C-alpha cells in the first residue's frame, strides 16, 4: 500500500514524445528533404541540413515478453543512443546516426530471431488481433495464423521483390479490431451458425431491448422460452456478425465445427494513384486448422504469387485486379466463384456489373 | 503454490519452428518468470486442440475514477488454469509516433513485471501499449506506478479512443502538418472524453501527414486528419534527370500512372499541370529526391470510417477539403465540439458517427454541425430525382 500514500495522479495523458526523440531528429524535425531505401529494411532520411538518419526496421511477433523489450532496449543502447520506435504495423525501428552500425545491428537482430525488412515493395508485418490468446469473441487465433503466414512469406518480408507493397491483416472476428477491411489481403475469422441462446441467463446478464437493437438485420425478437423472458433468432436473417454476443454473453456463436476463415483482397488505404478501397471477397470459407492453418497459408501464398507474376510495377493488388478484371483474377488464382461472392446486404446492387465491358 | 511444472503443448510447440519470430517463444519466456503465462499457454493449447476460445465475456473492472483503459478478461476454465482466472488487459497510452528511449521501455517492462504477466503487445490495433494479463488487485498499483512514471491509460468502451499519428515531421519529408504534435495535443485536451466513456459509441481520431495515410485514418478513424498541400509540387529538374539516367522509365512509371494524367515527360523535361493534380502522392513516392509536396500545407478532414460492426464498414469521406496547417488544431477542436454535440443529441446507442450520417443523410448532418455542402464532399452529385425539398423553398 506504499504507493497509496503518494498523491494519486490521474488524467496526465501520454508522456510528451519530444523527450523520446533522438538528437538528430530534434535537430531536423520538419526539415527532412528526401529518403531512400538503401537495403531491404534499411532507410536513409536526408535533411535539408545534410544530416542523415538511418532506420533499421525489424519484424516482431507483436506479442512480446518484457525480456524481449529489454533486449530491444539494450540493442538501442548499443547502436543508437537508446532511441527506437515502433511502426503502425508492429515493426520495431532503430534510429541510427552512424551507418557503420547498420550491419552489426542487423546481424544481432537476425541472430536473436528478428529479421530486418518490411520496407518498400515487400510484405510488411501482418496487422492482427488477439485471437484465442486474449479475446472472448475470436472465431480463430490471430497470432498462430500470422506466424504460419510469415514463415511462408518470410522472403517477401526480407526482400523487396513484389510489384508494390502488399499489406496483409488478420482479424479473428467481424469486430475487426485490426480493421482489416482495406488491406491487399485480409484474413477474417468467421462464424457460420446463428447464436446458441442461453435462455437461463439471458435476462440476468443483458438487457433484452439492447440485444434486439444490436441486430443489424432485425433477426432477434423478444420471446418467452420455458417461462423465461428471453429472445429468439430468425435463423434465415442471421449473418453471424456476433453483434448480439458483444452486448450479451448469453448469445455465443463459437462453433468448432463451423467456424473458419475467409479471405478478402484488393483493398488499400493509401491515396496513391487510386482512391482508398475496401477489400473484396475472394474465398468465403476455409477451415480453421491450427496450429499451422495450411489451407489459409496456401491460399494466401497462391494469391501473392499470382499477383507477383502478373501485376505491373507499382500496381497494388486491387489496382492489378481492376486492370485484369475479377473473372481473370478467379481464373488465374484458381479460386472458385460462388453464390457467396454476390453481395446481398445493403447497397448490394452497387457491386453488380452495369456495363458490357467484359474480357473474353 | 500451484504446480509450476509445465505440461506439454504439442500444437503450440510447432509454432516455435520456422524463421519468423514466435509468439509462443515469447509466452514461454515470460513463463520462466511468471507461471501465469504457463497457464495462458496451456489454455491456448486447449483452444488449438478444440478450435474454440476459452475466455469469458468481459467484465467491468478498472481503476478508480476511470471508466475505461482496462479490459476485463476472465478465463472460462479457472479450475484448470487458476493463475489466469483474472487476466485483464491494461491499455497504456503510447507516446505520439511510438517513439521511446531504452530507459522508458525498461521502466514499462519493470512495472509490468512487478504487477502483471510480463506479456505485452507493442502495440494494440488502436495504438496503445497493451499490458496483457493481470489480477484485479494489481490494477490500481500498476496504474499508480504508470502515472508516477509519466504514463496514463488509453481509451476503451464508448469513449474517445487513444488518438494515433504517423511518424510525421519527426522522420518524413512528406508530412504536411505536425502529426505528432496534433495527436499529442488532442490526446491531452480530451483526457476526460477518453477516460470516462460518455459517447454513444467509440470515436477514433487518426492523424496522417500525407495522402499515403500510414495510420490508415481513411479506413479506421471517425475523424481522419490527412495532410495535403494546395500549391504546386516542388520539382528539382536535375534530380528528375538523375532518376531518368538511373533507369527509371518516367513516362511509364510516373506519367502514365498519374490518375489525372497531369504530367508530361518530353525531351528530358517533366512538366506538371498542378491545377489538375489531386495530390495522390504517386509521383512523389517514386521520385522522393526530385519531387516534394508544395509549401502551402495543411490537411483534409474526413469523417466516419469504421469496421463492419454494426451496419457495415465505411471509409471516411471528405468533410473539410482543406485546413491550413497553422489553423488545424483550432479548427479540429471547434469541429469536434460540433460533431460530438450532434452525435450526443442524435446518435443511438452503439451508433458510430459514420452510421449516424448514413441514417440521417449528409445534408441534415451538415445542417446540424453548421457546415455548407461543397462538391469536394461527394464523388458525384446524386443520380436519383427523389429530392426532399424544404417546405419553405417550394410554396
Q: In Å, how far is B141's CA from the nearest CA of chain A?
A: 7
| Contact status of B6 with chain A (Cβ, < 8 Å) | no
Contacts A246 to B, Cβ<8 Å: 309
Longest Cα separation, chain A:
78
CB within 8 Å: B64 and A13: no
B259: helix, strand or coil: coil
Average pLDDT over residues B378-392: 91
Report in angstroms the alpha-carbon separations of B365 from B111, B186, B359. Answer: 46, 23, 10
Average pLDDT over residues A168-185: 92
Give the pTM: 0.96
Given a cut of 60, is residue A1 above it in pLDDT?
A: no
CA-to-CA distance for B307 and B72, rounded, in angstroms? 22
pLDDT at B5: 61
Contacts A346 to B, Cβ<8 Å: 311-312
A269: helix, strand or coil: coil
Average pLDDT, chain A: 95
pLDDT at A351: 81
Residue A143's H or E segment, with its range, is: helix A143-152
Beta bridge partners of B116: none
CB within 8 Å: B19 and A254: no
CB within 8 Å: B47 and A36: no
CA-to-CA distance for A53 and A37, rounded, in angstroms? 12
CA-to-CA distance for B262 and B250, rounded, in angstroms? 13
Radius of gyration of chain B (CA): 25
CB within 8 Å: B125 and A63: no
CB within 8 Å: A179 and B125: yes
Percent share of chain A, pLDDT over 90: 92
Given a cut of 60, is residue B47 above it in pLDDT?
A: yes
Angle, vertex CA B130, rays to CA B124 and CA B135, nearest 5: 140
Given a cut of 90, is residue B337 above it in pLDDT?
A: yes
Given a cut of 90, is residue B11 above it in pLDDT?
A: yes
Contacts A61 to B, Cβ<8 Å: 20-23, 26
This model of the complex carries an ipTM of 0.96
| Contact status of B384 with chain A (Cβ, < 8 Å) | no
Report in angstroms the alpha-carbon separations of B195 from A97, B133, B181, B190. Answer: 38, 20, 20, 9
CB within 8 Å: B310 and A59: no
Look up cell 511510438; give the residue.
B98
Q: In Å, how far is A45's CA from the nearest CA of chain B?
A: 7
Given a cut of 60, is residue A5 above it in pLDDT?
A: no
| Contact status of B136 with chain A (Cβ, < 8 Å) | no
Contacts A80 to B, Cβ<8 Å: none
Q: In Å, how far is B333's CA from the nearest CA of chain A?
A: 17
pLDDT at B4: 53
CA-to-CA distance for B177 and B174, rounded, in angstroms? 9
Q: How many residues does chain A have?
A: 360
pLDDT at A213: 93
What one-character DSSP code corresponds to residue B253? I
* Residue in A11, A62, A216 closest to B152 by CB: A11
Phi, psi of A150 (to 5 degrees): -70, -30
pLDDT at B2: 47
Angle, vertex CA B310, rays to CA A124 and CA A349, nearest 5: 85
Contacts A9 to B, Cβ<8 Å: 144, 147-148
pLDDT at B1: 38
Mark out the alpha helices in A214-353 (DSSP H runs): 243-247, 294-310, 317-324, 326-333
User: A298, A335 in Cβ contact below 8 A?
Assistant: no
Return the residue of B nearest to A116 by Cα: B20
Contacts A241 to B, Cβ<8 Å: 308-310
pLDDT tens sequence across A33-77: 999 999 999 999 999 999 999 999 999 999 999 999 999 999 999
pLDDT band at A347 (very low <50, low <70, confident <90, very high): confident
User: A25, B100 in Cβ contact below 8 A?
Assistant: no
CA-to-CA distance for B212 and B235, rounded, in angstroms? 19
Flag the least confident range among A36-40, A235-239, B4-8: B4-8
Phi, psi of B32 (to 5 degrees): -65, -25
pLDDT at B58: 76
CB within 8 Å: B21 and A114: yes
Report in angstroms the alpha-carbon separations of A24 from A81, A103, B275. Answer: 11, 20, 36
Compute, in degrees rounded to 10, the torsion defined by CA atoms A320, A326, A327, A331.
60
B206: helix, strand or coil: strand
Return the residue of A nearest to B351 by Cα: A214
Q: In Å, how far is A337's CA from the nearest CA of chain B?
A: 23
What one-character DSSP code corresponds to residue A101? G
Amino acid at each position: 500500500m506504499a504507493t497509496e500514500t503518494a498523491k494519486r495522479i490521474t488524467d496526465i495523458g501520454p508522456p510528451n514524445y519530444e523527450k523520446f526523440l533522438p538528437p538528430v531528429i530534434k535537430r531536423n524535425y520538419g526539415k527532412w528533404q528526401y529518403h531512400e531505401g538503401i537495403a531491404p529494411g534499411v532507410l536513409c532520411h536526408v535533411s535539408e541540413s545534410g544530416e542523415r538518419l538511418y532506420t533499421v526496421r525489424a519484424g516482431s511477433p507483436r506479442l512480446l515478453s518484457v525480456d524481449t523489450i529489454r533486449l530491444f532496449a539494450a540493442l538501442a543502447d548499443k547502436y543508437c543512443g537508446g532511441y527506437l520506435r515502433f511502426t503502425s504495423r508492429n515493426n520495431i525501428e532503430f534510429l541510427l546516426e552512424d551507418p557503420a552500425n547498420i550491419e552489426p545491428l542487423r546481424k544481432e537482430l537476425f541472430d536473436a530471431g528478428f529479421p530486418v525488412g518490411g520496407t518498400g515493395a515487400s510484405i510488411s508485418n501482418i496487422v492482427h488481433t488477439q485471437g484465442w490468446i486474449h479475446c472472448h469473441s475470436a472465431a480463430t487465433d490471430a497470432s498462430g495464423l500470422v506466424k504460419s503466414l510469415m514463415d511462408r512469406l518470410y522472403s517477401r518480408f526480407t526482400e523487396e521483390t513484389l510489384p508494390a507493397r502488399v499489406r496483409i491483416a488478420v482479424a479473428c472476428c467481424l469486430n475487426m479490431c485490426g480493421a482489416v477491411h482495406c488491406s491487399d489481403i485480409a484474413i477474417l475469422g468467421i462464424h457460420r451458425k446463428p447464436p446458441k441462446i442461453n435462455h437461463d441467463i439471458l435476462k440476468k446478464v443483458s438487457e433484452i431491448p439492447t440485444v434486439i437493437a444490436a441486430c443489424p438485420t432485425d433477426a432477434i425478437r423478444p420471446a418467452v422460452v420455458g417461462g423465461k423472458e428471453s429472445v429468439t433468432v430468425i435463423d434465415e436473417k442471421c449473418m453471424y456478425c456476433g453483434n448480439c454476443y458483444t452486448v450479451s454473453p448469453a448469445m455465443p456463436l463459437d462453433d468448432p465445427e463451423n467456424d473458419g476463415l475467409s479471405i478478402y483482397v484488393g483493398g488499400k488505404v493509401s491515396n496513391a494513384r487510386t482512391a482508398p478501397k475496401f477489400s473484396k471477397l475472394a474465398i468465403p470459407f476455409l477451415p480453421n486448422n491450427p496450429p499451422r492453418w495450411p489451407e489459409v497459408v496456401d491460399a494466401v501464398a497462391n494469391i501473392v504469387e499470382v499477383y507477383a507474376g502478373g501485376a505491373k510495377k507499382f500496381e497494388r493488388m486491387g489496382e492489378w485486379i481492376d486492370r485484369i478484371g475479377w473473372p481473370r483474377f478467379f481464373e488465374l488464382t484458381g479460386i472458385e466463384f460462388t453464390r457467396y461472392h454476390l453481395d446481398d446486404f445493403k447497397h448490394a446492387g452497387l457491386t453488380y456489373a452495369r456495363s458490357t465491358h467484359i474480357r473474353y | 503454490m500451484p504446480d509450476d511444472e509445465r505440461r506439454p503443448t504439442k500444437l503450440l510447440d510447432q509454432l516455435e519452428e520456422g524463421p519468423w519470430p514466435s509468439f509462443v517463444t515469447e509466452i514461454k519466456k515470460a513463463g520462466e518468470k511468471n507461471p501465469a503465462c504457463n497457464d495462458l499457454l496451456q489454455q491456448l493449447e486447449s483452444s488449438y486442440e478444440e478450435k474454440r476460445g476459452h475466455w469469458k465475456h468481459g467484465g467491468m473492472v478498472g481503476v478508480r475514477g476511470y471508466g475505461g483503459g482496462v479490459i476485463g478478461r476472465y478465463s472460462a476454465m479457472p479450475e484448470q488454469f487458476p493463475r489466469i482466472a483474472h487476466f485483464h488487459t491494461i491499455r497504456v497510452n503510447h507516446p505520439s509516433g511510438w517513439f521511446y528511449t531504452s530507459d522508458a521501455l525498461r521502466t514499462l517492462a519493470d512495472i509490468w513485471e512487478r504487477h502483471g504477466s510480463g506479456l505485452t503487445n507493442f502495440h494494440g490495433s488502436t495504438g496503445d501499449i497493451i499490458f496483457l494479463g493481470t489480477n484485479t488487485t494489481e490494477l490500481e498499483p500498476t496504474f499508480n506506478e504508470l502515472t508516477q512514471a509519466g504514463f496514463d491509460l488509453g481509451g476503451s468502451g464508448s469513449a474517445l479512443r487513444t488518438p494515433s499519428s504517423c511518424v510525421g515531421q519527426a522522420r518524413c519529408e512528406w508530412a504536411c502538418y505536425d502529426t505528432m504534435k496534433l495527436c499529442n495535443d488532442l490526446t491531452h485536451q480530451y483526457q476526460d472524453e477518453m477516460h470516462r466513456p460518455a459517447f454513444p459509441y467509440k470515436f477514433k481520431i487518426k492523424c496522417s501527414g500525407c495522402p499515403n495515410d500510414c495510420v490508415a485514418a481513411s479506413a479506421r478513424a471517425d475523424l481522419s486528419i490527412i495532410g495535403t498541400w494546395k500549391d504546386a509540387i516542388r520539382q528539382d529538374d536535375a534530380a528528375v534527370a538523375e532518376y531518368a539516367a538511373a533507369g527509371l522509365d518516367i513516362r511509364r512509371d510516373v506519367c502514365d500512372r498519374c490518375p489525372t494524367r497531369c504530367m508530361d515527360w518530353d525531351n528530358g523535361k517533366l512538366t506538371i499541370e498542378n491545377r489538375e493534380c489531386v495530390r495522390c502522392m504517386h509521383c512523389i513516392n517514386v521520385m522522393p529526391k526530385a519531387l516534394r509536396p508544395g509549401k502551402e500545407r495543411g490537411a483534409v478532414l474526413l469523417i466516419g470510417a469504421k469496421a463492419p460492426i454494426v451496419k457495415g464498414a465505411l471509409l471516411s469521406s471528405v468533410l473539410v477539403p482543406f485546413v491550413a496547417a497553422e489553423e488545424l488544431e483550432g479548427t479540429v477542436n471547434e469541429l469536434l465540439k460540433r460533431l460530438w454535440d450532434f452525435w450526443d443529441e442524435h446518435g443511438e446507442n452503439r451508433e458510430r458517427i459514420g452510421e449516424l450520417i448514413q441514417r440521417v443523410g449528409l445534408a441534415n448532418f451538415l445542417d446540424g454541425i453548421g457546415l455548407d455542402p461543397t462538391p469536394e464532399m461527394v464523388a458525384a452529385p446524386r443520380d436519383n430525382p427523389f429530392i426532399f425539398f424544404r417546405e419553405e423553398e417550394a410554396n
